[in-house]
């Protein structure tokens, strides 16, 4: 599945890239031959609407629509078993290699220093 997502990412880069010449067109056709027809059809529908077909998942959030991705979909992406679509925007989800190894816990913020408390005794006791 990772090869399929890599092919989709390369196709997306060639499709939305500035350079459009015959070498780009032949590379794009070669990538399109590697991708199954159903996946390519869904990708092409997204591109026809001006959207990118693949979105990276960062911090459990789809970078295409900025909506939270269910943890089950993220686990499937980590295991590389199947491709996943974002439930909100319909883009193919891609988990970068550094996120597949397991996300480290964020560093704990330092605790603010406590201010000394004032005593409750009254200062003007006769």
The pLDDT of 109-118, averaged and rounded, is: 72
pLDDT in tens, 61-104: 999 999 999 999 999 999 988 999 999 999 999 998 876 665 44
- Looking at residue 101, what is its pLDDT? 62
CATH of 2-100, picked from 1.10.10.10, 1.10.3720.10, 1.10.287.1490, 1.10.287.1040, is 1.10.287.1490
- Residue 11 token pair: 């196709």
Asked if residues 96 and 72 have their Cβ atoms less than 8 Å apart, the reply is no
Is the predicted pLDDT of residue 7 greater than 60, yes or no? yes
- Looking at residue 3, what is its pLDDT? 84
Q: What is the 3-state secondary structure (H, E, C) of the chain?
A: CHHHHHHHHHHHHHHHCCCCCHHHHHHHHHHHHHCCHHHHHHHHHHHHCCCCCEEEEECCEECCCCCECCHHHHHHHHHCCCCCECCCCCCEEECCHHHHCCCCCCCCCCCCCCCCCCCCCCCCCC
Q: In whole angstroms, give the CA distance from residue 13 to residue 9.
A: 6
Asked if residues 10 and 53 have their Cβ atoms less than 8 Å apart, the reply is no
């Amino acid at each position: 599945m990772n090869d399929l997502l890599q092919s989709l990412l390369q196709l997306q880069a060639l499709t939305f890239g500035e350079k459009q010449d015959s070498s780009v067109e032949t590379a794009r056709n070669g990538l399109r031959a590697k991708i199954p027809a159903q996946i390519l059809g869904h990708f092409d529908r997204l591109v026809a609407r001006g959207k990118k077909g693949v979105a990276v998942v960062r911090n459990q959030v789809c970078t295409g629509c900025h909506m939270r991705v269910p943890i089950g979909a993220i686990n499937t992406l980590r295991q590389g078993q199947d491709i996943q679509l974002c439930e909100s925007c319909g883009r193919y989800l891609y988990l970068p290699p550094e996120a597949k190894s397991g996300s480290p816990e964020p560093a704990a913020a330092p605790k603010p220093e406590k201010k000394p408390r004032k005593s409750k005794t009254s200062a003007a006791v006769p």
